[in-house]
Amino acid sequence: MDEENTTAAAADAAHDTAEQSNDESTAAVQENADSAPADETASGADAPTDDAKDKAASSGRPKRVRKTTTNYVPEEEMKKEMIIPDGKGEKLGEMPNVVNKFGDVTWSTPCLKSLYYIVFGVGKKAEFKKHLLQFNGFNFSEEKEEAELDKVTQKIHKLKLDQLKEIMDLCDIDRSMDSFEEKKNPDKDMLSTRFLEWLQEPKASGKKLKKASAKRKSSSSAAAAKAPKKKSPPKKAKKEASKPKKKKQTATPADEDEEVNIPGVSTDKIRSKIQSIVANADKDSVTVKDVRKKLEDWLDMDLLEYKNSIRALVMDAM
């Protein structure tokens, strides 16, 4: 009897325990279901609304603006052509003596470089002769004339006496003793004053142009005409007859009278320079273009427009 009571009590206890566990699991599920909307509501509260955004924007903090980037493209530099002022005197390119003397110098000649610096300042070496031959005197405004002439005077006084004389000779300026009122050997101050006056209004000296090269050619041709012709002995004549005759180069018409109108240099100088270039070159491989290129280096200027005249002189020299 006691055993049956004990067994029944144990069964009741187990049943109660099972019901209690079922109740706890049901309560947990219900609790999870109730907490889910609360979590969603809480997450929704964390998200900012439009009103909150507007409020943050109007809080006084500056709004960041994104800047657009642009690539820098450098502009092409425009080549500025120098404008030669129109003075009161004659252009150097219209003075035969000056043009002839300019043909004897190059851009590297000190007196030409100094003259260009006094007149124009710093410039490109290839344009020294071109600009100077267009110069016909200073043309300063009344307000700046005194100051500009003072600058030019300072440049002239920085020259040594020998340098000043060379520049005046290049410009064909008379600096003889008789040309001055004092009738004495001029000093540096006297020469500087005359040079400055000439720069303000250049004028040709009026001296006759010396053509030394023409005299030499005429004297050499006259001597050749007077010289008696030597008769070759008959034996040599036979030997020469057996040799094949060389073809003579056909000279272009008027080779001797061909004129190359290059500003600043005479035709005789061009002819002698071409003869020198051809003499020192390989005649089998040298071309007219090679000779013209060497002439361009010598004169510091482009000679393409004179190629036909240069070709005639080169063929004559060869």
The overall average pLDDT reported for the chain is: 74
Lowest mean pLDDT among 14-28, 62-76, 293-307: 14-28
Q: Rounded to whole angstroms, what are the CA distances from 237 to 13, 245, 247?
A: 161, 13, 18
**Each residue's pLDDT tens digit, 149-188:** 999 999 999 999 999 999 999 999 998 888 888 778 889 9
Q: Return the pLDDT at 318.
A: 74
| pLDDT value of position 285 | 80
Measure CA 30 to chain center: 92
Position 290 pLDDT exceeds 60: yes
| The predicted structure's pLDDT at residue 64 | 78
- pLDDT number for residue 6: 54
Report pTM. Answer: 0.45
pLDDT of residue 74: 60
- When pLDDT is averaged across residues 284-298 and rounded to a whole number, the result is 84
pLDDT for position 194: 92
CA–CA distance, 61 with 58 (Å, rounded to integer): 7
Give the model's pLDDT for residue 55: 56
C-alpha dist (Å) from residue 273 to 99, 106, 249, 276, 298: 17, 14, 20, 5, 9
For residue 179, the number of C-alpha atoms closer than 13 Å in the C-beta half-sphere is 9
Q: 169 or 243: whose pLDDT is higher? A: 169
State the CB neighbour count (10 A cutoff) for residue 43.
9
- Portion of the chain with pLDDT greater than 70, in percent: 62
* Of the listed ranges 117-121, 159-163, 191-195, 309-313, the one predicted with least confidence: 309-313
Residue range 207-232: average pLDDT? Answer: 54
Out of 1-5, 92-96, 242-246, give the one with best mean pLDDT.
92-96
Q: Which of 116-125, 240-249, 261-270 has the lowest mean pLDDT?
A: 240-249
pLDDT in tens, 102-117: 999 988 899 999 999 9
Least confident segment among 16-30, 117-131, 200-214: 16-30
DSSP-derived secondary structure for 35-69: HHHHHHHHHHHHSPPHHHHHHHHTTSPPPP-PPPP
Rounded to 5 degrees, what are φ and ψ at 126? -70, -15
**pLDDT score at 117:** 93
pLDDT at 275 over 80: yes
Question: Can you tell me which residue has the tokens 């007077």?
Answer: 226
